[in-house]
């Protein structure tokens, strides 16, 4: 079996982003949903308009997001769109909150924890997707990149509660009072991400994966008090394989000799973050075995 290709560039510019996307050789049809984190109000690390704007406009893409399960400035459609505007996303694209008009369940029979995934009804309005993630640490998941962006990111507000609780509840007001074992949460993210992938395959709707590895902080763009970067920017990776793309990001963090990389590695492993990769592979989402192609 051929290894998945992961393309890599150190060029974190609009041109570098366009180049690595075109290197994938995938022609995305129809209406393209581009899943990014709009960033919590107060966060600093979210992908900025001057970097991704030209790329999104070139594809006539729509920025797609979902409301958050935690209490913040993005729990309602109105507030979320306000933050998206403040962070510059509406300056270059339409922003569509996928759960603005309800949600639906994607059945998932392979899960140990989740029987389904819950996504916004607008999810079905798109013919193809780009999972455009920001690689960084994460307070709960250890790290955030494509797998987190496809699980927690694509899930509706109630869906996020369902994943965070490892299938115990869909109620955002209840979930934080009774969290599951950490490994169950990590595995639930892998299950939700796989559910999305399997659903899109059945619909014959392609999705590609890009992770911008800049502003590498220990906390996520969903953190209103996001800390400063702890290491230098790494570059951009892209693949048609979500597991390979996340594995490449992790491998680069582990290969770094920068002092701050040790802090990021400790954050990831203290939350069992890397455990998402073998389980996602086991579920058939992708492969940890890849070939890195440097542009």
- The dihedral through the CA atoms of 151, 156, 160, 166 has a sign that is negative
State residue 77's pLDDT score.
Answer: 84
State residue 1's pLDDT score.
Answer: 64
Break the chain into its structural domains and give their ranges.
4-44+63-294
CB-CB contact of 97 with 65 (8 Å): yes
Nearest to residue 141, comparing CAs of 190, 102, 96?
190
Contacts of 54 (CB under 8 A, 6+ apart): 14, 18, 92
d(CA 255, CA 258) in angstroms, rounded, equals 9
Contacts of 200 (CB under 8 A, 6+ apart): 129, 206, 207
245-261: per-residue pLDDT in tens? 999 999 999 999 999 99
Q: Which residues of the chain have pLDDT under 70?
A: 1
Nearest to residue 221, comparing CAs of 132, 288, 161?
132
Q: Does the predicted model carry a pTM greater than 0.85?
A: yes
């Amino acid at each position: 079996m051929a290894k998945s290709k992961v393309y890599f560039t150190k060029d974190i510019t609009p041109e570098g982003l366009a180049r690595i996307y075109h290197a994938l050789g995938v022609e995305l049809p129809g209406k393209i949903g581009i899943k990014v984190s709009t960033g919590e109000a107060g966060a600093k690390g979210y992908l900025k308009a001057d970097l991704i704007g030209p790329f999104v406009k070139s594809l006539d893409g729509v920025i797609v997001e979902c409301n958050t399960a935690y209490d913040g400035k993005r729990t309602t459609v109105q507030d979320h769109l306000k933050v998206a505007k403040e962070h510059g996303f509406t300056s270059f694209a339409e922003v569509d909150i996928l759960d603005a008009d309800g949600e639906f369940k994607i059945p998932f029979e392979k899960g140990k924890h989740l029987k389904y995934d819950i996504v916004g009804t607008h999810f079905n309005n798109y013919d193809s997707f780009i999972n455009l993630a920001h690689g960084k640490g994460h307070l709960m998941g250890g790290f955030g990149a494509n797998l987190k962006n496809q699980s927690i990111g694509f899930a509706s507000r109630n869906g996020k509660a369902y994943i965070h609780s490892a299938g115990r509840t869909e109620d955002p007001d209840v979930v934080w009072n009774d969290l599951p074992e950490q490994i169950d949460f990590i595995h639930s993210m892998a299950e939700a991400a796989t559910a999305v992938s399997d659903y899109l395959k059945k619909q014959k709707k392609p999705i590609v994966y890009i992770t911008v590895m800049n502003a590498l902080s220990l906390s996520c763009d969903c953190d209103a008090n996001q800390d400063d970067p702890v290491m230098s920017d790494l570059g951009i990776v892209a693949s048609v394989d979500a597991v390979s793309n996340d594995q490449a990001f992790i491998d680069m963090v582990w290969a770094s000799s920068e002092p701050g990389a040790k802090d990021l590695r400790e954050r990831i492993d203290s939350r069992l973050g890397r455990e998402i990769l073998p389980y996602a592979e086991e579920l058939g989402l992708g492969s940890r075995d890849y070939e890195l192609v440097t542009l």
